[in-house]
């Protein structure tokens, strides 16, 4: 069975690497990374990954705007939001807009796996 | 001038609540116990404290963050560069010593620790004091400790001769890494006192 593909978007390289390590260890294939919302939308359109992990606070275009653009392009997109503890309002907005699941930083490996698994269904 | 006002006590309470939350988040992030203690809450003469700190020549990596809102604060986190490499390995669950230079990931580790602690602080303000504060994206800097600290004090020192400072140390228990955090009110003291006391 083909591996589910993932686009990881976060402005922090260390967070991208953490998510990539966890995802690949658990059988997913990270096909691209992005550092801001514009890259998220461009790479989604280009690569059509099965799952996107999307940080909320990012430069240029934030995760909420990128989520809206991705869902406008593909209403079936599976997007997992990545957020810090104080961003509850933004997170609730993302869920109302159609995000599939969320991860709160700092995260445990199991929570990332669970969110990816929910998004892959 | 130690703890001689209601405001200092209130700031110390905010710091204690923040420290408790940060301790839990940091332990989770670095997958090891992090013990955080508030070293001092004090009101200091800007020129004295700058002179004292300016003599510190440790090579450190730090993250500055502004907490923007009705009662703004400035936040600084820093750690010796050699220890930032160990923290990077811990966050990435790599063998200690794998990160050998202050690379993109080490910079990002310092940035993320700053992000997570400042988020914990703004969450405490919002939850316990009903004060909305928004952390700005961190600015990461590598320099002598004295330079990093002087830069941090710069804006506030331009407007005030005395500053409140909460000085906090956290120790990563397994590795004995000391990290330093400072929280500094940067707005009008009267507004701050009204909101916190």
DSSP per-residue codes, B17-53: HHHHHHHHHHHHHHTS-EEEEEEEEEEEEHHHHHHHH
CB contact set of A2 (below 8 Å; sequence gap of 6+): none
Mean pLDDT of B164-171: 72
State mean pLDDT over B70-75: 87
- Could you read off the pLDDT of A73-95 as tens digits, one per residue? 999 999 999 988 767 888 999 99
B48 assigned to some structural domain: yes
The verdict on residue B84 lying in a domain is yes
Query: How many separate domains does chain B show?
Result: 1
- Evaluate the omega torsion of the peptide bond into residue A38 and state whether it is cis, within 30 degrees of 0: no
Q: How confident is the model at residue B1 (pLDDT cuts 50, 70, 90)?
A: very low
Other Cβ atoms closer than 10 A to B129: 16
Q: Which of B106, B108, B120, B139 to mutate to test the interface with A (most CBs of A within 10 A)?
A: B108
| φ/ψ (deg, to 5) at B64 | -95, 135
For chain B, percent of residues with pLDDT exceeding 90 = 22
The rounded distance, in Å, linking the Cα atoms of A12 and B87 is 15
Whole-angstrom distance, CA of residue A81 vs CA of residue A96: 12
CA distance A18 to chain B (A): 6
What mean pLDDT is reported for chain A? Answer: 94
Domain that holds residue B154: 6-195
Question: Count of CB contacts below 8 A, A vs B?
Answer: 53
Give residue ranges of B with CB < 8 Å to any A CB.
21, 25-26, 28-29, 88, 91-93, 104-105, 108-109, 111-112, 115-116, 119-120, 122-123, 126, 135, 137
Nearest to B152 by CA among B76, B68, B80, B49: B76
Q: Distance from A121 to chain B by nearest Cα, in Å? A: 28
Nearest to A13 among B104, B116, B137 (CB): B104
A14 touches chain B (CB under 8 A): yes
pLDDT in tens, B25-62: 877 787 776 676 666 666 677 777 777 776 776 899 99
Q: Do B135 and A108 touch (CB under 8 A)?
A: no
3-class secondary-structure state, position B80: strand
Contact (CB<8Å) A86/B93: no
**If you search the block for the tokens 């976060």, which residue do you land on?**
A10
- What confidence score (pLDDT) does residue A46 get? 97
Contact (CB, 8 A) for B124 and B18: yes
Whether residue B49 is contained in a domain is answered as: yes
Instruction: Tell me if B34 is assigned to some domain.
Output: yes
- Mean pLDDT highest for which of A115-119, B123-127, B149-153? A115-119
Cβ–Cβ under 8 Å, residues A40 and A65: no
For residue A57, the chain B residue with the least C-alpha distance is B137
Average pLDDT over residues A96-109: 92
- φ, ψ (nearest 5 deg) of residue A90: -65, -40
Residue B66 lies in a domain: yes
Answer yes or no: is pLDDT of B2 > 60.
Answer: no
Contacting residues for B8 by C-beta, under 8 A, at least 6 apart: B2, B41, B42, B43, B164
The answer to whether the CB of B138 falls within 8 A of the CB of A103 is: no
Supply the pLDDT for residue B147. Answer: 87
Q: Please answer yes or no on whether A86 and B111 come within 8 Å at the CB atom.
A: no
pLDDT tens figures, A33-65:
999 999 999 999 999 999 999 999 888 889 999
Q: Concatenated DSSP letters for B157-187?
A: HHH-SEEEEEEEEEEETTTTEEEEEEEEE-S
Residue B1 is assigned to a structural domain of this protein: no
What number is the ipTM of this complex? 0.81
- pLDDT at B3 exceeding the cut of 60: no
Nearest to B90 by CA among B179, B18, B183: B179
End-to-end C-alpha distance for chain A, whole angstroms: 14
Question: CATH no. for residue B101?
Answer: 3.40.1550.10
The model's pLDDT over B74-115, given as tens digits with 9 standing for 90+, comes to 889 889 999 999 999 988 989 989 999 999 999 999 999 898
């Amino acid at each position: 069975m083909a591996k589910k593909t993932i686009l990881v978007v976060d402005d922090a390289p260390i967070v991208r690497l953490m998510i990539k390590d966890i995802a690949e260890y658990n059988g997913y294939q990270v096909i691209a990374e992005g550092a801001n919302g514009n890259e998220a939308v461009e790479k989604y359109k280009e690569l059509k990954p099965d799952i996107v992990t999307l940080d909320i606070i990012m430069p240029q275009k934030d995760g909420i705007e990128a989520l809206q653009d991705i869902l406008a392009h593909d209403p079936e997109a599976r997007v997992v939001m990545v957020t810090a503890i104080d961003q509850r309002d933004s997170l609730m907005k993302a869920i109302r807009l159609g995000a599939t699941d969320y991860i709160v930083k700092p995260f445990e490996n199991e929570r990332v796996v669970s969110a990816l698994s929910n998004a892959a269904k | 001038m130690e703890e001689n006002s209601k405001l200092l006590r209130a700031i110390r309470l905010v710091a204690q609540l923040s420290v408790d939350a940060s301790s839990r988040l940091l332990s989770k992030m670095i997958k090891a116990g992090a013990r955080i203690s508030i070293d001092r809450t004090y009101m200091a003469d800007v020129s004295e404290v700058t002179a004292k700190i300016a003599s510190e020549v440790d090579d450190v990596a730090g993250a500055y963050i502004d907490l923007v809102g009705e009662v703004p604060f400035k936040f600084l986190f820093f750690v010796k560069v050699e220890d930032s490499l160990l923290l990077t390995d811990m966050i990435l669950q790599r063998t200690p010593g794998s990160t050998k230079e202050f690379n993109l990931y080490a910079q990002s580790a310092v940035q993320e620790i700053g992000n997570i602690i400042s988020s914990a602080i703004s969450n405490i303000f919002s939850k316990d004091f009903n004060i909305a504060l928004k952390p700005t994206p961190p600015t990461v800097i590598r320099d002598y400790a004295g330079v990093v600290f002087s830069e941090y004090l710069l804006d506030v020192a331009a407007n005030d001769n005395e500053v409140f400072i909460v000085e906090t140390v956290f120790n990563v228990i397994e590795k004995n890494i000391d990290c330093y955090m400072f929280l500094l009110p940067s707005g009008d003291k009267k507004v701050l006192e009204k909101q916190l006391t």
